Structure 1
């Protein structure tokens, strides 16, 4: 029977669409998003026993509600044992402070101070003062131990058992500051009363004379440092116990935002206290020096730091505003003393995060001598650089004249040493890679460090001479190697993963050329049953010439549907186009399923991602949704040109920062992206937190231009494609208020091609499998209907 041509064509297209939707995967959203225990059990928090004979780690082969502690003996690597409760109670914790030759370790437990003797393999309680005792440290004379108790510094002598209180610090105002200050009215009333009443005047005069006499004849009171409105913490005792430094803080995080919890067990709506908004952080931090010999204390003087009054470059964009040149607020870290106690080092950050100074602290008067200044018109950061209250990688070499630190001076975070006597600085590592977590060997003749020298998407562990030189690569497994070195440095416990293989534990002798021995094998049979893809690591050229790293998932030609999905990782400063098991493992599995269904998926380490140096990290300064968005667009162009993607079939999804980019993509690049799912997304950066946002966009009252061009809510009128918004209602990080405001904006604009799915019991990181499942079923439906059902 002959059919008209137009009916045959209609039948062909119907069958073609049916074929597209008939593409299947052995994966399902329900399977991927169930409790992660279905994947197996994988080792976490690796630690060594103090004797270097046993590896301890958290593990859960029995699928209990939470992990348990397990161990493997170096003498029997094939046997994994669960640590008994009795053994666990008698264990020495992994954290503590060793003496110079690593034979004794101080640690606290339940507030009491203990010392562990390595040779005797035994712990002894030294002090229990009935309260929390903190920060114990061996002094230069190792028979003496300094510690902090109730905001004061003490020294315990292990030979005679005496405890000496070094400081007298009180978290209160000085007596003269506590005296009631009379108002003008009260002064007038008193003077009038004294002038009218002779007996009252006489008694007042006698009382004043008595007070003056007692003050003149009394023994001088011991010095007390009154902290006033400051809270005291971070006491550091110098190795010779002649100085103590103390961190002083006034914490004011501004007005908190209340997040309503509509499903509280009480049946009432309860407010969850959450963070304040950017620009509302008034926290102050300073450092004081307590001179024990002179029995006095003084504040560290930061007023003479070079560039302390420098204005940031962005002020040039506001020519009509009068900018006051003034001393910027700074945050001073704890002091780091040289081993001989002759010198002290501090790390100082400007609160606007444009400057980091490393300085010598003159303990006699609190003055500073700048040794290194790192200035960044964007913001100071990077591996080992340290954040507001910590110095990051910072310390002294054993010669007591060289310091070490990390800096992005070359564009990548590298390890440096500096001679404090003549200011000579030397880079111990250099190249287009980054250094992570360097530390000195036990004999202080070498460095151990992790770097990305082999590839930005890999991490390997090295040993290097103290003053630099050839690095010896100690790991050889592909992917990421997290090394826990045994206390005697003879062995390495390595937690390793690859793109399609979750974390497992390996063992290797330090310096051995043999392959590492795998100790755990945690994948479940259900997880191993699927052939998980190794994404193709690629780079493509961005419009500005930069080479952008990405991971690519390519479907079989027989199922390819010419549609593409762009996955955008969250956090901004995070790396995901690497060669190890992703923290976004659910999304990795979802991308595998999308590829089974014929989608081509690309996962881009856009501008602002970590692992690629300073310029990549700061590429979004003052314009989030600029180069980080154009990198996504250029990635799509790459797929169209090289993988035959239909320009009308491109979707995008991501959570948190990835949700923000998704909104910017749908609003500002509607010709590129036809559908998008924005999960827990920031819609207006003026409503996010201070610590993250102020680095990148400055403060909204100071730099409104940056906020207006970076916030999706200002561009909602550009929406043309299909948008799915998903958000937890008790999100204390990116508040639900964000999407409520955007929802109202979309309503007012008359947009009708969007949906909002809310999750009443979820915060920023979802925890319930049912929520994950619902969320991703909606995303899959969005892509199938918006990109394929055309």
Structure 2
């Protein structure tokens, strides 16, 4: 009798659990793309104020945007600094001058490429409330207040200007700017995309000089992109240097506001170079700059005399493969021009180094088989350095502090997950943005010791909402690829997973050099689309192949001169490993990706035709001959030097191997990975008599977004997966 009661009790509990699980909603496409049910809240536009007791934050309300002042000690609002509603300015960004008496705000901002934009700029006197519209409301670029509070520098029509605030007088520093020919003070397309820069000028510390980069792109080949929607389609022509083609000729110049003279900086006789960074060292007469050769295997740091333009070589770093600027972009000059701190991969992992003024190495500050992902604070008074690293795991990002002598290292954020940090100017506080796979964004105000001051945003509303859905956790795992290297991966199973059943698998890939998808962090829209697929009975898997980031230089540089080969081998190995699992239907494994991931997915379907049943390639590179100089030649050299590296692993080369189902998607307005890539792959597939599906999105750029686009795109991809996988 007791046994029967116990059995009935167990059955009752099981049925209750099942009923509870059934009450939870499946993640629908509408939830992800129509209702935005899974969007996170954040704290936007944070700027630390000079006294260290306050920070400012951009807030949006019904009455318009506001910049509010927050007391660091209490976390409470201490006043409104800029009231857009009262001023009649619907601004979207703001910046203060050094003494915080004036603010520069931008309205009617118009995006150009990934990082560039133009807008109407207003100068606001924070004491009187008076506003001044620059250039009578014409749209300008990169407006920047001078350190002496008296002027604003900006770019308009490819020329560099200075406006005096007292009288409105405008001085045009350069006059040779011309569309598709000469650019002064702003980056060309390829620098903006691949060196993560758009503004290309900088005030000297005392505001007496402006250093700027000039791009002569007259001989760079033009790319023609048609735009649709009118009776006669229009051409949009812009300079885009494809691999092996001519780059813009770059030079650095320094304008002296007192003498009104401009000097050219001597960067050497070789003109086929890159000049991706300029820095004032803290000395008003010394400009530092970085120089890369065309193959990007030598990086030089120079000092330039701001009066004469003469230069001295301070430091050189060479590599048999490439010197990755993105991993050497934490250069900080010490006060009084007493030396500098920088990051480098020279010992095999990205670490922090201390050099004297002349470039001599004083010491390597951090060491180990892990990477410093970002330097976030350099406190010279207390001789401490704050940085984010992967020391706990390549999947994690944590904040550390270390003394400049390399001692006293301490972790400040021991929680498992991913942190980004915004540190105060006096290094007493920081704003931490934290998430992991089970917790959405949490924004906190902390003392530099790590002590919590206040939670600014914890997304409790989102957490509660997610509790109503059948969300499947990411399960991290690893496996060995063909050469025995362990690869990191994650898996999302259906919420009602039954290990006795066999499930189809969709793999998600990016896989490009230095990238990383497998991290302990909260996901975005694509992750919730994957949750929808899991609710429909699919397992979603992501593998970070060899060549990806956070595991050291050698792991990343394995793909050098032969992009696509090793990465594809690893994705195929991942699919084969999944096929050995008892709950995976190895006859129904698909793969999808975007950009580099689209290149990978299409290539994997062809080369791995016995493993993959279907693939979706969104905005893929189909031949590296069509991609830009800086990115492509960094990893492949030029086509003239390494033709096989360009052609052997192009999907176009392997179209005859296609057996499975391919969906090819591209935007016709993609200024990054041109629609030309899709056109040539389609042509090759037709010639090879291969059937496939394709979709183009008129005038959409590389993100293929805007209006109803994302809903349409992901609905179509979902339908394809259900039909073909």
**TM range, normalised to the smaller chain?**
0.7 to 0.9
How many Å apart are 1:587 and its aligned residue? 2.5
For 1:43, the equivalent position in structure 2 comes to: 42
- Residue segments in structure 2 that go unaligned for 5+ positions in a row: 1-21, 106-119, 186-199
Give runs of aligned pairs for residues 7-22 of structure 1, distance below 5 A. none
Give distance in 2, aligned partners of 1:353 and 1:643: 47
- Paired residues of 1:25 and 1:596 also in contact (CA < 8 A): no
Give distance in 2, aligned partners of 1:717 and 1:299: 54
Answering whether residue 301 of structure 2 is matched by residue 336 of structure 1, we say no
- Paired residues of 2:285 and 2:306 also in contact (CA < 8 A): no
Give runs of aligned pairs for residues 739-754 of structure 1, distance below 5 A. 739-752=678-691, 754=692
Larger radius of gyration: 1
Give runs of aligned pairs for residues 107-186 of structure 1, distance below 5 A. 108=104, 136-138=145-147, 171=175
3-state secondary structure, aligned to 1:31 = helix
Q: Measured at CA, do residues 639 and 399 of structure 1 come closer, stay the same or move farther in structure 2, by a change above 3 Å?
A: same
Deviations 1:13-58 (A, max 9, x none): xxxxxxxxxx999435522542363324411534046365666556
- Paired residues of 2:547 and 2:556 also in contact (CA < 8 A): yes
For 1:767, the equivalent position in structure 2 comes to: 705
For 1:34, the equivalent position in structure 2 comes to: 33
Answering whether residue 216 of structure 2 is matched by residue 250 of structure 1, we say yes
Greater alpha carbon shift after TM alignment, 513-522 vs 473-482: 513-522
How many Å apart are 1:529 and its aligned residue? 1.4
Answering whether residue 693 of structure 2 is matched by residue 755 of structure 1, we say yes
Q: Measured at CA, do residues 32 and 764 of structure 1 come closer, stay the same or move farther in structure 2, by a change above 3 Å?
A: farther
Q: Measured at CA, do residues 252 and 503 of structure 1 come closer, stay the same or move farther in structure 2, by a change above 3 Å?
A: farther
Answering whether residue 302 of structure 2 is matched by residue 359 of structure 1, we say yes
For 1:417, the equivalent position in structure 2 comes to: 354
Greater alpha carbon shift after TM alignment, 670-679 vs 485-494: 485-494
How many Å apart are 1:662 and its aligned residue? 1.0
1:440 to 365, 373, 378: 378
1:379 to 310, 322, 334: 322
- Paired residues of 1:417 and 1:428 also in contact (CA < 8 A): yes
- Paired residues of 2:208 and 2:258 also in contact (CA < 8 A): yes
Q: Measured at CA, do residues 69 and 664 of structure 1 come closer, stay the same or move farther in structure 2, by a change above 3 Å?
A: farther
For 1:736, the equivalent position in structure 2 comes to: 675
Greater alpha carbon shift after TM alignment, 122-131 vs 30-39: 122-131
For 1:459, the equivalent position in structure 2 comes to: 397
3-state secondary structure, aligned to 2:587 = coil
CA RMSD of aligned residues (A): 4.5
For 1:222, the equivalent position in structure 2 comes to: none
Give distance in 2, aligned partners of 1:144 and 1:726: 50
3-state secondary structure, aligned to 1:371 = strand
For 1:270, the equivalent position in structure 2 comes to: 234
Give distance in 2, aligned partners of 1:92 and 1:663: 39
Greater alpha carbon shift after TM alignment, 715-724 vs 127-136: 127-136
Deviations 1:247-288 (A, max 9, x none): 3331347333333344x1x45433444663333443111224
How many Å apart are 1:85 and its aligned residue? 3.2
Give distance in 2, aligned partners of 1:680 and 1:516: 42
- Paired residues of 2:594 and 2:618 also in contact (CA < 8 A): yes
1:717 to 652, 656, 660: 656
Corresponding pairs, count: 659
For 1:16, the equivalent position in structure 2 comes to: none
- Which has more strand, going by share of residues? 2
- Paired residues of 1:236 and 1:334 also in contact (CA < 8 A): no
- Paired residues of 1:77 and 1:519 also in contact (CA < 8 A): no
Answering whether residue 367 of structure 2 is matched by residue 430 of structure 1, we say yes
How many Å apart are 1:440 and its aligned residue? 2.4
How many Å apart are 1:655 and its aligned residue? 1.7
3-state secondary structure, aligned to 1:550 = strand
- Paired residues of 1:46 and 1:484 also in contact (CA < 8 A): no
2:441 to 503, 507, 525: 503
How many Å apart are 1:97 and its aligned residue? 5.3
Q: Measured at CA, do residues 444 and 279 of structure 1 come closer, stay the same or move farther in structure 2, by a change above 3 Å?
A: farther
- Paired residues of 2:401 and 2:410 also in contact (CA < 8 A): yes
How many Å apart are 1:442 and its aligned residue? 7.7
Answering whether residue 251 of structure 2 is matched by residue 286 of structure 1, we say yes
1:578 to 519, 527, 530: 519
Give distance in 2, aligned partners of 1:749 and 1:758: 21
Answering whether residue 529 of structure 2 is matched by residue 530 of structure 1, we say no
Give distance in 1, aligned partners of 2:154 and 2:722: 62
- Paired residues of 1:725 and 1:756 also in contact (CA < 8 A): yes
3-state secondary structure, aligned to 1:361 = strand
2:551 to 606, 612, 632: 612
3-state secondary structure, aligned to 2:592 = strand
Q: Measured at CA, do residues 468 and 719 of structure 1 come closer, stay the same or move farther in structure 2, by a change above 3 Å?
A: same
Q: Measured at CA, do residues 755 and 88 of structure 1 come closer, stay the same or move farther in structure 2, by a change above 3 Å?
A: same
1:350 to 293, 296, 310: 293
Give distance in 2, aligned partners of 1:33 and 1:93: 28
Deviations 1:94-134 (A, max 9, x none): 63453xxxx66776567787787xxxx88899999989896
- Paired residues of 1:78 and 1:519 also in contact (CA < 8 A): no
1:623 to 559, 562, 582: 562
Answering whether residue 431 of structure 2 is matched by residue 493 of structure 1, we say yes
For 1:473, the equivalent position in structure 2 comes to: 411
